[in-house]
Amino acid sequence: MSVAVIGEGTRVTLHFAIKLQDGQVVDSNFDGNAATFEFGDGKLPEGFEQALVGLKEGDHLDLTIAPERGFGMHNPSNLQVMPRSQFTDMELEPGLVVTFKEPGGLVPGVVVDFSDSKVTIDFNHPLAGKTLLFEVKILNILAL
């Protein structure tokens, strides 16, 4: 009997943690319910999913995810300068997340800098450009 390994045609149940290189936890389900996904269903970024290929039940390890395989590189063209007059009803501070209504839905941006006349918003994913540690514990693999 062959041991199921993660790859095309599998459903995987796992605990995970996404950490910055300094060990700060960005997201984790180790203290809660395990997550389940079907390989290739888009629930995990492709680079995270590809890092799991070949793992088997019981594996518990830390994987390093380069920015290109995680949330992409920081793109300077995703920084936009807007008139301060668009933000009259809010208290601005660097790091503040502001949601903008776009034709495709809501888009979050982070206030990077502001003055009396303009506000710089960063529309990059907050983890863009960061090398991440992806701790995983594989609980179950089901061949579909």
What are the residue ranges spanned by the domains of the chain?
Answer: 10-71+127-143, 76-122
Contact 63, 21 (CB under 8 A): no
- Fold identical between 10-71+127-143 and 76-122? no
For domain 10-71+127-143, the CATH class is alpha beta
Mean local confidence (pLDDT), 15-22: 96
In this predicted structure, which of 65-69, 102-106, 111-115, 131-135 has the lowest mean pLDDT?
102-106
For 103, phi then psi, to 5°, come to -55, -35
In the predicted model, is pLDDT for residue 1 greater than 50? no
SS3 content of the chain, % helix, strand, coil (to 5): 10, 45, 45
In the predicted model, is pLDDT for residue 133 greater than 50? yes
pTM score: 0.80
In the predicted model, is pLDDT for residue 49 greater than 50? yes
Contact 7, 13 (CB under 8 A): no
State residue 89's pLDDT score: 86
- Give the Cβ contact number of residue 108 at 10 Å: 13
User: Which CATH number is 76-122 given?
Assistant: 2.40.10.330
User: How far is residue 117 from each of residues 81, 87, 120, 122, measured CA to CA in Å?
Assistant: 10, 10, 10, 17
In the predicted model, is pLDDT for residue 104 greater than 90? no
In the predicted model, is pLDDT for residue 131 greater than 70? yes
Mean local confidence (pLDDT), 121-144: 96
Calpha distance 20→73 (Å, rounded): 15
For 26, phi then psi, to 5°, come to -90, -40
Calpha distance 78→89 (Å, rounded): 24
Tokens 């300068």 -> residue = 81
State residue 2's pLDDT score: 55
Average pLDDT, rounded, for the chain: 94
Bridge partners of residue 81, in order along the sequence: 120
